[in-house]
Structure 1
Amino acid sequence: MRSTFGGIEIAKRSLFTQQAALTTTGHNIANANTKGYSRQVVNMVASRPIEYPGLMRSNVPGQMGQGVEFDHIKRVRERFLDDQFHNENKNLGDWSIRKDTLEKLEAIINEPSDTGIRQTIEGFWNAWQELSKTPENTTARVLVKERALAMTDAFNHMSRQLKDLSGDLTQNIEVKASEANQILTQVSRLNDEIYRIEGLGNDANDLRDQRDLLMDNLSKIMNVSYTEEDRGYNVRLGNLQLVSGNQVSTTFTRESLEAAAVSGDLNSGEVNGMIQSRDYYVSNYQFQLDSMLKVLVEGEVKVTLPKDMVVPEGTTLNIVNPDGTTTPKIYTGLIADRTLGDNVDVIVNGFNGLHQLGYGGNSPLRSGTAFFALKPGYTEFNAESVTINSVILNDVANISSSARTYLDAGQETVVKGNNDMALLLANMRTKRINFDPSATGRPVLTDGTFDEFYRSIVGELGVQSQEATRQAANQQILVDQVESRRQAVSGVSLDEEMANMIKYQHAYSAAARSLTTFDEMLDKVINGMGVVGR
């Protein structure tokens, strides 16, 4: 028959098991709001039974149960959902950075608005229109100078802002490299701790939660993948081994991350978003502005010089032939020899080239100089290097507005009331220009006016920003959906835990009552039997 003392052991095991379940339930409740925490469950199993005693075998069929015990505390986690979360999280990180960068670009370009660069461009062209109405008016010349300065300053400022944004992104890449290195170091250390703890037969559930939370954070930074082996997580970035067991195989720098992006190992995540934002978005808009300024200042433009225009002495005009080719022609000699007998189509080198064909309001006669100039230290025109020629800044009379001269007491003198050059320069805004003479395909608009080119820049930015906003919003929805499913599996439900607590509490009370019953039985056997004859 079964030993009476065996019942005490069964009750004791039940008490210990229910107590462990209550403790685990309390642990779940305490961590209900802990980020990355996975619900834990005590895995209860029936204790190994024993057979009825016998000489060779059991005389009674069946085995005697020995109660309950728990073999481990299980962490409720689903790897499939973790992989889904990481796949969506890396895309969220990428598009969030792109969205943020494009929003900053929109703030820099600030269009459409009353304070954007388009207003300064509009003011520049309008000033030339005003000068064409009263070419001899000094006030109109001052207005041209001031509006031109406002435009070049606006482009200079925008270019500096773009460079600052590019520098900020570069600095943020370095910050993310450091953050990734810290995470990889922590993962390797947790790999080692988990290996040692579980090697002793214990559960390292909370450490596993910490490691998985680190992987969640890392997945937003870059497109890592990982496998779990005996020594812990093996983490990779494309073909790059990052962590193997307790060893960190790769330490990131900004340069190594940029190289990984070029090789294709890094193709999503916040770092990829930063690299693409800097090297594509910011660089592209810097290029567009530089292209616009360069073409404005010195790009080839076809203009029609009016009849009776006097070409400055020694000037070579590239005259456009009917077949589209050009023929250079040098104009020298007397005024009559340099006066155009009819309208002539020519190719000039941008605003500067056309401005140099005119005459200012100065005396003695001085043919036009370049209107735009390079800042000291620069070798080519772009949005950052352009400024106004110091000759014009010092004397607005050097602004070309006239295209005719005459002899006055044997001295060639400008016709100050003539507005031919001012009109030609004002009409530059409507000229169709090839913004991609080298056929690179990079300019946002190949052929068009300056206004159309700038509108195309603004339009492209608007489309890209809208797309990034949409993609980021979609990715956030996907991440939230996967996280919701993860929480449904791994999250702590206070209602469920409270129900479990009551269930385990009653089981504990029943086990305690069972122990009391066995105690009473033993008391009866020990103290209540065999008293006859005492």
Structure 2
Amino acid sequence: MTGLFGMLGTATRGMNANQTALQTSGHNIANTNTDGYSRQRVHMTTERPYYMTGVGAIGMGVSASSVDRIVDPFIRNQTRDAYSKFRMYEQKSDALGQLEHFMNEPSETGVINQLSVMYDAWSKLGSNPELVTSKSLVIENSASFADMVREMAGQISQLKGEVTSNIEKGAMDFNEKLEQLSILNDQIFSISSNGNVPNDLLDTRDSLLKDIAGLADISTTFDSYGRVSELKIGGKSGETVLDINGHKKISVVSAENTISVGGDANNKVTFTSNLPVGTIVIEGYTPTEPAFKAVDVNEGEIGGFQAASKEIDVRLEELNTFVTKFAETINTAYRNEAGIDFFDLGTDSTKVLENIKVIQSLQENPATLKTGKGATPAPGDGSLAKDIEKLFNTKDAGDQMTFSERYNNIVTKNGISKQQADNIAASQLTVLNQLEYKNESISGVNLNEEVSDVIRFSQAFQANARVIQTISDMLDTLINRTGA
């Protein structure tokens, strides 16, 4: 339509489009400090022109065709991956740091120093075998060593339990956020299916996905409506835990043959399995019994705690082997002459670390500690004590290490593993910061730009209003001031 009424429609559309743009700029400014918000822009489209015979195309103005988020999906995906890796190594480093603290090396109160103290006690006993005080010193220092080892075992076992509890908490958080994402999927579909773009809901979706990636490595697929049509835990080759039909809970193996359903420590079920403690499983059901399928999680907080749990198990096994080897070496030498052991290692060979102690009879009566060789050692015979003294600095035929060196090797391996975790965490943090900076430069709100847009759109609005005022004056002249 041309003429005054056509001009009126053109100006009205111009006002509406610029009003929408002003409202969008105001929305951007209001959310300047909103975490996860992506700035929005109004996409304006030229209206289809009116073709007048003999004149040609006459412009009909503009319309706001859509309000779009300014995002780079590739950067967002990279940011999620980097965040997942960073959280993994950060949590692993934290747990291994606590293990390093419990090992307490180098230290004047650590195991290596206590081995040296025991060596000195046996050395003095070899030189003064008749002194009851020298015997008491050997017993007391050996008992202190056993106490130290048991205390360390208790601390490490407690750390193992805390790591498992953190995995359970991570699983609960994962399930909660997965449920939120499932609900969000429905909301996104409800809006998108009506032809609208749920920009703010898509921002919430992206924030949820980043939080979920911080808990475990995930792989996501989106449909044309903007929903997460498939989410896998454990990466691209992992297991599907969410699709457009709903979601599944993940659970945790919290103890031998025991699973914390949904990560809830108060909701446990018994399930025959040889899965390691801390394993993530997906819950499902058969007609007769619950079924759980193990999932490999390699990143995120859960992956970090799982990696730390495995390291702790290895260190515990190494420490148990070290203490067993040390105690049995002393026991063999002492038993060959005295007929009894020096250390009591308990009945479970896998828990020597928790059970070791000096045998009760020697603790009750240190004077009975044998120092010489033979059935009836000669007075002043300290040969047995001297032989045991030599064992402390004897290199093993297999690994060519003394007991102190072997323990130091265990501590060193943990230190190297923690240092690697620290280095990778620092590296990933650098990458993450760069990606977040790039994402912010693309999707973040620039106040100077928004204020400039406010001025630009407000001037355009006012100009279109002036056109309407001019047309109103023209219509007034046409209707009221012409005629007879």
Q: TM-score, normalised by structure 1?
A: 0.80
Per-residue CA shift, 1:466-488, capped at 9, x if unaligned?
Answer: 11111100011111111111111
- Counterpart pick for 1:185 among 152, 160, 179: 179
2:331 aligned with 1:352: yes
**Partners of 1:6 and 1:176 in 2: CA distance:** 62
Aligned match of 2:249 = 251
The share of aligned pairs that are identical, in percent, is 30
**Partners of 2:238 and 2:428 in 1: CA distance:** 26
Aligned match of 1:284 = 314
**Partners of 1:491 and 1:482 in 2: CA distance:** 13
Aligned match of 2:75 = 81
Aligned match of 1:145 = 139
Aligned match of 1:69 = 63
**Partners of 1:499 and 1:114 in 2: CA distance:** 66
**Partners of 1:126 and 1:382 in 2: CA distance:** 24
Aligned residue pairs total: 446
2:289 aligned with 1:293: no
User: Given residue 299 of structure 2, which amino acid in structure 1 is its aligned partner?
Assistant: S
User: Given residue 239 of structure 2, which amino acid in structure 1 is its aligned partner?
Assistant: L
Q: Is the 8 A contact 1:351 1:371 kept in 2?
A: yes
Match of 1:384, SS?
A: helix
- Which one has the largest radius of gyration? 1
User: Given residue 419 of structure 2, which amino acid in structure 1 is its aligned partner?
Assistant: Q
User: Given residue 19 of structure 2, which amino acid in structure 1 is its aligned partner?
Assistant: Q
**Partners of 1:6 and 1:382 in 2: CA distance:** 94
Worse-superposed segment, 488-497 or 115-124:
115-124
2:123 aligned with 1:92: no
1:93 to partner: Cα distance: 2.0
Aligned match of 2:444 = 491
Aligned match of 2:475 = 522
1:140 to partner: Cα distance: 1.4
Stretches of structure 2 lacking an aligned partner (at least 5 in a row): 254-258, 260-277, 283-292
1:369 to partner: Cα distance: 2.4
Aligned match of 2:432 = 479
**Partners of 2:249 and 2:54 in 1: CA distance:** 68
2:371 aligned with 1:389: no
Q: Is the 8 A contact 2:214 2:300 kept in 1?
A: yes
Matches within 5 A, 1:3-402: 3-52=3-52, 59-230=53-224, 232-233=227-228, 234-237=230-233, 238-248=237-247, 250-255=248-253, 258=279, 265-279=296-310, 281-298=311-328, 350-358=329-337, 367-375=338-346, 378=348, 382-402=352-372
Per-residue CA shift, 1:361-389, capped at 9, x if unaligned?
Answer: xxxxxx352110035x7466621110110
Match of 1:77, SS?
A: coil
**Partners of 1:126 and 1:173 in 2: CA distance:** 45
**Partners of 1:48 and 1:24 in 2: CA distance:** 24
Aligned match of 2:271 = none
**Partners of 1:431 and 1:528 in 2: CA distance:** 120
2:391 aligned with 1:428: yes
User: Given residue 351 of structure 1, which amino acid in structure 2 is its aligned partner?
Assistant: I
Q: Would the alpha carbon gap of residues 61 and 526 (structure 1) be closer, same or farther in structure 2, given more than 3 Å must change?
A: closer
Aligned match of 1:2 = 2
Higher relative contact order (CA 8 A, sep 6+): 2
Q: Is the 8 A contact 2:132 2:367 kept in 1?
A: yes
**Partners of 2:325 and 2:477 in 1: CA distance:** 110
User: Given residue 394 of structure 2, which amino acid in structure 1 is its aligned partner?
Assistant: K
Q: CA RMSD in A?
A: 2.1
**Partners of 2:462 and 2:126 in 1: CA distance:** 102
Worse-superposed segment, 256-265 or 99-108:
256-265
1:230 to partner: Cα distance: 4.1
Match of 1:430, SS?
A: coil
Q: Is the 8 A contact 2:238 2:295 kept in 1?
A: no
Match of 1:45, SS?
A: strand
Aligned match of 1:506 = 459
Match of 2:336, SS?
A: coil
Q: Would the alpha carbon gap of residues 378 and 264 (structure 1) be closer, same or farther in structure 2, given more than 3 Å must change?
A: closer
